[in-house]
Amino acid sequence: MTHVLTASSTKTCKQCPYKYYLRYVVGLRRDREATPLRFGGNWHRGLELLGQGCVAADMQGQLATEYRDRPEYISPEAWEVEYYTVASALAAYAWYYQNDGLEVVATESEFCLPITNPESGRPSTKWRRAGKIDRRIRMGEHEMIEEHKTTSEDIAPGSDYWRNLRIDSQISMYLSAAREIGHPTSGILYDVFRKPQIRPKKLSLKDAVGFLTTNLYCGQTFDVTIQRDEAKKIVGVQVNACKATLEPLKAGPTLRETPAMFGARVLQSITELPDQYFARQEIARTEADMEAAAFELWAIMQQINSMSRTGHWYKNETQCVRMGRCEFCDICFDGVDVTNDVPDGFIRVENPHVELSTLKETNHATNCNAHDSAA
Ligand code: SF4
């Protein structure tokens, strides 16, 4: 049996070994997908389409199919707002980077390679490392890996977001994988989108009157239908066939942005100040960095082997609630036994590395020998 370590699973193990056990050995997942995960997944899907040569409008159309089936635990408005946010931001991305000179060589390339003992040079017979490289790109003479991320953090030059990448293990893992496969990779281009912090809002009376008169909002034209009562008072507004919510102001009724109107404001906000939303930096690695990463991966693998053998996975209680609430708090705090039953609010997945579509992994073990090189 072969086991797989990914950048996500090693980070989880570093954070809390018991969390690694629950996610990657037992295979537990929340039955409700977290919004940032879904947003990030759809961001990647949109970039993949753009990378394949799709124009922005077609990309948005295809992305809409990802938002066809709304989970019952998300309100219709929140669901549409999420779609318009990611679709508008992707259109802004396509506009901003339209002349960046990058040539896309391949998108979403999966790898599965040996984990080598950095002291002896011998590969583990039991473990392999796997991952998915977002893009391989060419910049002039150089070929590079491009990694895409979304974040809510500050991405200004010199911010902790960028400084932290100096020691990020995923970058080292992907760089070594690309070189081992035989791609002449000179480095990693980190491509980050900072998610908009704005939310749908109520229009001022002046803006509402302007919109209902011109049908223009944030530079986009909408189909607007106004319903009035016998006294000519506005009793309903449809924007692109979507009913807008009317809200009272002291001076009269106004309307809340519909999700499509909010999308127009997202697009306008980003295109007015693109540097606040988009950033790219080339992340360097020295030979010493690469060696340290190899030793780190080997040490984590040995630690997992040891805990697997004894069945005792230690808990890092400092990580439960300090950086957001760990998804497994209720299991750990209440001492829930997960060996037989799946706790309420969770599902058990067959393939804990869901991001790797070509891995056929079941219960912590896999056979990935067929994926020695990027697909
Ligand atoms: S709740 Fe705490 S101990 Fe339990 S898995 Fe999460 S971080 Fe680890």
pLDDT one-digit tens code per residue, 182-215:
888 888 999 999 999 999 999 999 999 999 999 9
Q: Which residues pair with 369 in a beta bridge?
A: none
In a domain? residue 263: no
Label residue 27 by pLDDT band (50, 70, 90).
Answer: very high
- Whole-angstrom Cα distance, residue 123 to residue 107? 28
Tell how far the Cα of 305 is from the centroid of ligand 1, in angstroms.
19
Our answer on whether the CB atom of 161 is closer than 6 Å to any ligand 1 atom is no
Label residue 364 by pLDDT band (50, 70, 90).
Answer: very low
- Whole-angstrom Cα distance, residue 283 to residue 342? 41
pLDDT for residue 369 is more than 50: no
What per-residue confidence (pLDDT) applies to 370? 35
Our answer on whether the CB atom of 12 is closer than 6 Å to any ligand 1 atom is no
Domain that holds residue 235: 205-254
Our answer on whether the CB atom of 103 is closer than 6 Å to any ligand 1 atom is no
Closest to 48 in 3D by CA, of 88, 93, 81: 93
In a domain? residue 217: yes
- What does the pLDDT average to over 97-123? 92
Whether the Cβ atoms of residue 12 and residue 20 lie closer than 8 Å to each other: yes
pLDDT for residue 2 is more than 80: no
Atom of ligand 1 nearest to the CA of 16: 8
Q: Is 179 helix (H, G, I), strand (E, B) or coil?
A: helix
Closest to 84 in 3D by CA, of 98, 67, 70, 69: 67
Whether the Cβ atoms of residue 137 and residue 144 lie closer than 8 Å to each other: yes
pLDDT over 70, % of the chain:
95
Mutation probe of ligand 1 site: the residue of 24, 320, 337 with most atoms within 8 A of C-beta: 320
Tell how far the Cα of 331 is from the centroid of ligand 1, in angstroms.
8
Atom of ligand 1 nearest to the CA of 326: 6
* Residue of the CA atom closest to atom 5 of ligand 1: 19
Our answer on whether the CB atom of 19 is closer than 6 Å to any ligand 1 atom is yes
Label residue 360 by pLDDT band (50, 70, 90).
Answer: low
What per-residue confidence (pLDDT) applies to 52? 85
| Mean of the per-residue pLDDT values of the chain | 91
Label residue 359 by pLDDT band (50, 70, 90).
Answer: low
pLDDT for residue 372 is more than 50: no
Structure tokens at 167: 């020691």
In a domain? residue 144: no
Q: Is 252 helix (H, G, I), strand (E, B) or coil?
A: strand
Our answer on whether the CB atom of 329 is closer than 6 Å to any ligand 1 atom is yes
If you ran DSSP here, which 8-state letter would residue 137 be given?
A: E
What per-residue confidence (pLDDT) applies to 373? 37
Q: What would the pLDDT profile of 268-323 be if each residue is shown by its tens digit?
A: 999 999 999 999 999 989 999 999 999 999 999 999 999 999 999 999 999 999 87
Mutation probe of ligand 1 site: the residue of 328, 331, 346 with most atoms within 8 A of C-beta: 328
Our answer on whether the CB atom of 328 is closer than 6 Å to any ligand 1 atom is yes
Tell how far the Cα of 320 is from the centroid of ligand 1, in angstroms.
5
What per-residue confidence (pLDDT) applies to 355? 76
What per-residue confidence (pLDDT) applies to 324? 86
Cα dihedral across residues 305, 308, 309, 311: positive or negative: positive
What per-residue confidence (pLDDT) applies to 363? 40
The b-or-e profile of 348-360 (16+ CB within 10 A means b, else e) is: ebeebbebbeebe
In a domain? residue 7: no
Q: What would the pLDDT profile of 217-227 be if each residue is shown by its tens digit?
A: 999 999 999 99
Our answer on whether the CB atom of 338 is closer than 6 Å to any ligand 1 atom is no
pLDDT over 90, % of the chain:
79
- Whole-angstrom Cα distance, residue 245 to residue 243? 7
Q: How many domains does the chain have?
A: 1
Atom of ligand 1 nearest to the CA of 319: 7
Q: What would the pLDDT profile of 63-109 be if each residue is shown by its tens digit?
A: 999 999 999 999 999 999 999 999 999 999 999 999 998 998 888 88
Whether the Cβ atoms of residue 29 and residue 349 lie closer than 8 Å to each other: yes
pLDDT for residue 37 is more than 70: yes
Atom of ligand 1 nearest to the CA of 333: 1
Q: Which residue has the higher pLDDT, 184 or 161?
A: 161
Tell how far the Cα of 338 is from the centroid of ligand 1, in angstroms.
14
Label residue 374 by pLDDT band (50, 70, 90).
Answer: very low
Our answer on whether the CB atom of 332 is closer than 6 Å to any ligand 1 atom is yes
- Whole-angstrom Cα distance, residue 60 to residue 343? 37
In a domain? residue 234: yes
Structure tokens at 107: 């998108």
In a domain? residue 219: yes
What per-residue confidence (pLDDT) applies to 1? 65
Our answer on whether the CB atom of 23 is closer than 6 Å to any ligand 1 atom is no
What per-residue confidence (pLDDT) applies to 206? 92
In a domain? residue 235: yes
Tell how far the Cα of 255 is from the centroid of ligand 1, in angstroms.
44
Mutation probe of ligand 1 site: the residue of 9, 13, 16, 338 with most atoms within 8 A of C-beta: 16
In a domain? residue 209: yes
Atom of ligand 1 nearest to the CA of 22: 5
What are the CA-CA distances from residue 163 to residues 154, 168, 283 (Å)? 12, 9, 10
Q: Is 349 helix (H, G, I), strand (E, B) or coil?
A: coil
Residues in the chain, total: 375
